[in-house]
Structure 1
Amino acid sequence: MQKPDSLIFDMDGTLWDAVDTYAHSWNVVFQEMGIEKHIDRSVIAPMVGWEGKKVIETLMPEFDQQKRLDIYATVNDRRHLLIGDMGGILYDGVREGLPLLAQKYKVFILSNCAKGIIQQFIKWAGIEQYITDELAYGVNFMPKHHNIKLLTHKHKLTHPYYIGDTAGDGEQTRLAGIPFVFVSYGFGTTADYDLKFDDFTSLTNYFVNL
């Protein structure tokens, strides 16, 4: 592998854990809409990293697609507010590591979340000055491999690496034709990776000293 000029991070399961906030946003909306349904962490956690279309089909099979989309839009509106109040759990080493990585590489965040959620996360975490750009699935409803290429083209990146925590992240990274860095502390497992780290500090040390 060639030395990277940029690092593109997944968000959920890679930089933070906001599953409890996500679950709460669904339950608030279900209650508001009179829908007798309750979702807890155990339901949401396995879906982290999925594209929105798959999430709503799995969570709400009893509704037609338009109803699912309407509910999902409302959930995301509530989520924008809740992230500011509830936040999530930033993984150990992220707050200290990103400034060091940003001194050496262009740093990006690319996630399968709704539009605006990455921006909310960046603001909540106070890491605005370290992130060159971000792109969410909800902006164009395209898969990660497509959006990785968009960021690569937009910023004229020569050797980006993608860093994520699921097999799906790895598959999408392969489709984009770039190296995949797997972090094992997130929500998924995979044996297909170019590099693997068990904590963010180890990842930081590796790339800072590369």
Structure 2
Amino acid sequence: MQKPDSLIFDMDGTLWDAVDTYANSWNLVFEKKNIERTIGRNDLMEVMGMEGKKLTKVLMPDLDDDSAYGIYMDVNEKRRQILPTSGGTMYSGVTSGIKQLATKYNLFILSNCAIGIIPLFITWAGIEGYITDSIAYGQNNMPKHHNMRLLIDKHQLKNPVYIGDTNGDAEQTRMAGIPFIFVSYGFGKTDDYELKFDDFESLTKYYMSL
């Protein structure tokens, strides 16, 4: 594997854990709409990383696609409202690691989240100025492999890698034709990776030493 010129990061399960805030955003919308349903952390853990349209089918199988997607959009709006104060838990070493890595690499964030969530995360993490660019599923409703290629083409990346925490991330990265780097502390499991790191400090140390 060649030395990378850029690192593209997944967000949820890779850089932070905001699942409790995400669950709260669902429940606040359900309450407002008088839907007798409660979404717990474990419910969301099963769908973390999924594209929005797939996620709604799992969480709201009894609703038609349009109704479910309407609720999903309301949830995303609620999420944008509460994230600045509720935030999430940064994984150990991420904030300082990103600042170090940015001295050596172009850094990107690519997530299957709604539009507007990544900038809120960047502010919460205090890493404004360290991320070259980002792209979210909500910007174009396209899968990760498509958005990886968009970033690669836009920024003329020569040897990027994608860093994520699920088997879905691995599959999408393969489809984009770039190496997948797995972080094992996140939400998923996979055996399909070029490199694996058990904590962000190890990842930072490795890439800073190249």
Amino acid at match of 2:173: T
Structure 1 distance, partners of 2:125, 2:83, is: 10
- Which letter maps to 2:20? D
Aligned position for 2:114: 114
Tell me which residue corresponds to 1:171. Answer: 171
Structure 1 residue matching 2:46: 3-state secondary structure: helix
Cα deviation for residue 165 of structure 1 reads 0.2
> Which residue does 1:140 correspond to in 2?
140
Unaligned runs of 5+ in 2: none
Q: Matched residue pairs, number?
A: 210
Q: Quick one: distance in 2 between partners of 1:190 and 1:63? A: 32
Separation (CA, whole Å) in 2 of partners of 1:54 and 1:120 = 24
Measured after TM superposition, the shift of residue 154 of structure 1 is 0.3
Residue 62 (structure 1) shift: 1.3
Tell me the C-alpha RMSD between the 2 structures. 0.6
Q: Which moved more, 1:63-72 or 1:166-175?
A: 63-72
Q: Which residue of 2 aligns with 1:206?
A: 206
Question: Runs of at least 4 residues of structure 1 off by over 3 A?
Answer: none
Q: Which residue of 1 aligns with 2:162?
A: 162
Q: 2:84 & 2:176 partners in 1: Cα distance?
A: 33
Is there any run of 5+ residues in structure 1 with no aligned partner, and where? none
Partner of residue 51, structure 1: 51
Q: Deviations over 1:103-155 (max 9, x none)?
A: 00000000001111111111111111110000000100111000000000000
Q: For the residues of structure 2 that align with 1:199 and 1:62, how far apart are their CA atoms?
A: 39
CA shift digits 1:38-71 (9 cap, x unpaired): 0100100121111111111111111111111111
TM-score, normalization: structure 2?
0.99
- Shift in Å at residue 204 of structure 1? 0.1
Distance 2:3 2:31 in 1: 50
Corresponding position of 2:151: 151
